[in-house]
Structure 1
Amino acid sequence: MSTAARLLLSPRQVNELSVSGAHISLIDSTWYMPNAPRNAKDEFLAKRIPGAQFLDLDEVASPHKLGLKHMMPDKETFAHACEKLGISPSTHVVLYDAHGVFSSPRALFMFRSFGHENSSIIDGGLPRWIEDDLPIETSLPSQPQPAVYASPKFEDKSIRSYEQIVANSQVDPSTNEWSELVLDARPKGRYTGTDSEPRPGLSSGHIPHSYSLTFNLFLQKHKTKDGQEYSTLLPPAEIKKALEAAVGPKEASKIIRGERPVVASCGSGMTAGVLWLGLQLLGVKNVGLYDESWTGYAMRSTSHIDKTT
């Protein structure tokens, strides 16, 4: 078990750690939607934080019978990826992405679920790093010295299966105070079924008894000097307000006190990580993630889909 690090670090804090000679491993965990006209690996090769390595969340994943991407890897796959990236169990892993905050929370969720608590993300990612006039590397990235990463222990309560989600959705939350509360990070229109899913042929709607909490409600937007938009996490007090607006003050209090277990879901298990991270900042530890999220749920069955508001 590694020592717990702060969840969020500013670019300047990370730069100070790097300059001081601290044993950190900078990891670009950028991921783009499949229909986006951008390639995360190509952008990493062109421009990165000095010394950073690239983590492909679609490659460091377990195969799925429905063909879903970036599913939680098994412990051997995770350990092998760490070794190739030069990460040992004691390494302070600092993750970032090119959006600001988008895919790096999912990567952080993965590390923390495998007990690697000495892990953080850069709040604001690469755009904020550049905006702070910190150094950038454009030459070919150096190859890390391979490390040894003993098979880690996975936190079984981190991930929910389709069967668990269906069983949970069939429990009436008004009569069972211990049923898990599902938070859906997708845009509200996809949750209500009024907007289509970005994946062709996939129904929109939501898991019965789930709540809409679009991941952007935990974020604040900024613009760089050249007009590029990026995101950072809101302060905890503002995250709490967004949670209360979504589920009501009573349920929010139960969540924060640890009396109501929570499961985060989204389109494919990526932005659910933003909800997970925001709740961590509120001190909520009992947060799982529905790894398949809506894509797996809707592909499996249409009999458990709710399109009411």
Structure 2
Amino acid sequence: MSAPLLLSPSDLRGLLPSRGDSTPDTVRILDASWVMPNSPRRPHEEFQKKRISGASFLDLDDVASPHELGLKHMMPTEEVFAHACEKFGISPSSHVVIYDSHGVFSSPRALFMFRAFGHTNSSILDGGLPRWEAEGFPVEAEPPVDARSSSYPTPVFDKETIRSYEQVVSNSSPDPLSDPVIELVVDARSHGRYLGTDPEPRPGMSSGHIPHSFSLPFNKFLRTHTAPNSLTQYTTFLPVPELRQALVDAVGTEQADLVIQGKRSITTSCGSGMTAGILWLGLKLLEAPRVALYDESWTGYASRASSKIEKSTT
């Protein structure tokens, strides 16, 4: 079963019991909030104080595989993913609904993980916890209760959803616009970091970009809202026509059409593989069939001395 990629707060509320706020076994809600390493926020502590009723906390740095460069939140093994699902009370038939406390930030990365392991009965809450509250739905402040464990057979990971360093390097050598076999690479970092004019948030790391990649900052796929009678802001995905225009602005009309038609594959990248999930999900909303994610992203790429780094002023 394949669930909608996006749910509104009303959609999610409709999945829950009509009375009370307990979550049925058929729906499992996960808070996948994550922040940059230099942020003072503590998502797990925030979850302990406020959450959608019945939610469990998914730590994307914990449900991950070790990496030779020490990178965080890399895709887990099939066994690690299955064990995490069992801990959260998720069965193969569960509708998994994922949210974060920004609106749209880290939840798409978590959704990417579920979809890559074949759990297509999964969605994100578009607008996350701030939109849920802004639209008047209740939150829970009592200490969370651990979910009842479940059984989750070891799934099969779709290797076509991830690109490795070696694949990205071999793909970036020729000019992608001159060869339809070559994948496009879109970079979700800010345009200044892509150009090399702004520093990376990770000390000592060069900014710049992978040769022949395209700048598509993740916020180009999002709209910012201010909650009524509040200073709280949150993000949601743009409507499909505006998503398409953002892709066109980044890669041009011809290439955007080829991607959406499935005649050219595309890989998303960012700083560490997190906001690349936003571009992945936006492209999926455009129904682009051949979308992958560079798991290491810029942190892995720029950490290797052999990597070619381009900088530019436009």
Instruction: Using structure 1 for the length normalisation, give the TM-score.
Output: 0.98
Structure 1 outlier segments of 4+, above 4 Å: none
| 2:152 is aligned with 1:162 | no
Q: What is the percent sequence identity of the aligned residues?
A: 59
Structure 2 letter corresponding to 1:6: P
Aligned equivalent of 2:4: 6
* Aligned positions of 1:171-250 closer than 5 A: 171-224=174-227, 225-250=229-254
Question: Offset at 1:176?
Answer: 1.6
User: Contact 2:99/2:128 (CA < 8 Å) preserved in 1?
Assistant: yes
Find the partner of 1:290 among 273, 291, 294: 294
Q: Is the 8 A contact 2:33 2:43 kept in 1?
A: yes
Task: Name the amino acid aligned to 1:10.
Answer: S
1: CA distance between counterparts of 2:306 and 2:99? Answer: 36
Instruction: Rate the CA distance shift 1:109–1:306 in 2: closer, same or farther, 3 A.
Output: same
1:145 & 1:45 partners in 2: Cα distance? 18
1:97 equivalenced with 2:100 (yes/no): yes
RMSD (Å), alpha carbons: 1.0
Gaps of 5+ in 2: 19-23
Instruction: Please tell me the residue identity of whatever aligns with 1:261.
Output: S
**TM-score, length-normalised on structure 2?**
0.96
* 1:162, distance to aligned residue in structure 2 (A): 0.5
* Aligned equivalents of 1:156, 1:238: Cα separation in 2: 30
Say yes or no: does 1:53 pair with 2:56: yes
**Residues 160-214 of structure 1: CA deviation (Å, up to 9, x unaligned):** 1111100000022243211000000000000000000000000000000000000
Deviation at 1:22, TM superposition (A): 7.1
Please state how far the C-alpha of 1:226 moved relative to its aligned partner.
Answer: 1.9
2:15 paired with 1:17: yes
Distance 1:172 1:132 in 2: 47
With over 3 angstroms needed to count, the CA separation of the structure-2 counterparts of 1:71 and 1:303, relative to structure 1, is: closer
- Paired residue for 2:132, among 129, 139, 142? 129
Post-superposition shift, 1:301?
A: 2.7
* Residue aligning to 2:75: 72
1:124 Cα deviation after fit: 0.3
Equivalent-residue separation in structure 2 for 1:173 and 1:136 (angstroms): 48
Tell me if structure 1 keeps the 8 A contact 2:64–2:75: yes
Distance 1:168 1:51 in 2: 44
1:281 aligns with: 285
Deviations 1:87-117 (A, max 9, x none): 0111000000000000000000000000000
Name the CA distance, whole Å, in 1 between partners of 2:260 and 2:175.
21
Residue 57 of structure 1 deviates from its aligned partner by 0.1
Residue in structure 2 matched with residue 144 of structure 1 by the alignment: 147
From the superposition, tell whether residues 226 and 174 of structure 1 become closer, same or farther in structure 2 (CA, over 3 Å).
Answer: closer
